[in-house]
A and B are shown apart, each in its own frame.
Chain A
Amino acid sequence: GAGVSQSPSNKVTEKGKDVELRCDPISGHTALYWYRQSLGQGLEFLIYFQGNSAPDKSGLPSDRFSAERTGGSVSTLTIQRTQQEDSAVYLCASSLERSYEQYFGPGTRLTVT
């Protein structure tokens, strides 16, 4: 079956611009997660959606970052007024409720110039 998909695969933007990254989770997965990975670093948790519960936003690095999940499926991560330190690979994952077996998408490589 289809896995987690993310778009775009690559995004180059100028400093100060806003960007939107999209994630399509596996059908039937109620949990959705966003992580980011800077070059040569481990993964950093950003935000977690579980069903209709309030999202866990504890990993968002600043108020320039926000995410929403519409209809319990597709999610969009928005970064406003991008900075060079936002350059990273942004990974989305989904899972069944409260499962640690998460399925990751291929990621969006964001480069802020």
Chain B
Amino acid sequence: LAKTTQPISMDSYEGQEVNITCSHNNIATNDYITWYQQFPSQGPRFIIQGYKTKVTNEVASLFIPADRKSSTLSLPRVSLSDTAVYYCLVAGGGGKLIFGQGTELSVKP
């Protein structure tokens, strides 16, 4: 399974757009890129998944360049409630997820 690297922490302010970039240099052809969000004392929650180019849903956008060696999760106009840990995962087949340390996002008023 491909290893991912993402910043340990990020700070932002309410109303700003937040972009969290994840590196996955060893991504395999059949790997998908998935992002999860985790609030304290809760299980992780699926945010978005993509294979290439751009994916957008009601919560976030995911940008994946052509070489797929990195991906960027974009959260538009964050609020205090977006303070959480965000995990980037890369996996293909099988279904099991290997979580890294994640990025702790702190949104300030």
Q: Which residue of A lies closest to B46 (CB)?
A: A101
In this complex, how many residues of chain B approach chain A with their Cβ under 8 Å: the count is: 21
Contact segment of B37-45, B60-68, B75-83 = B37-45
Q: Given A42-B101, A100-B34, A100-B89, does the pair A95, B45 have CB atoms closer than 8 Å?
A: no
Which of B43, B94, B102 lies at the interface centre, i.e. has the most chain A CB atoms within 10 A of its CB?
B43
Q: Is the CB of B87 within 8 A of A42?
A: yes
> Which B residues touch A42, using CB under 8 A?
87, 99-102
Interface residues on A, range: 20 to 34
Contact with B along A23-56 (1 / 0, CB 8 A): 0000000010101000001111100101000001
Distance between Cα atoms of A101 and B32 in the complex (Å): 11
Q: Is the CB of A104 within 8 A of B93?
A: no
The verdict on B20 contacting chain A, using a C-beta distance below 8 Å, is: no
Q: Given A42-B101, A101-B49, does the pair A59, B96 have CB atoms closer than 8 Å?
A: yes
Cβ-closest 6 pairs across A and B: A104-B43, A43-B99, A42-B99, A48-B96, A100-B34, A101-B46
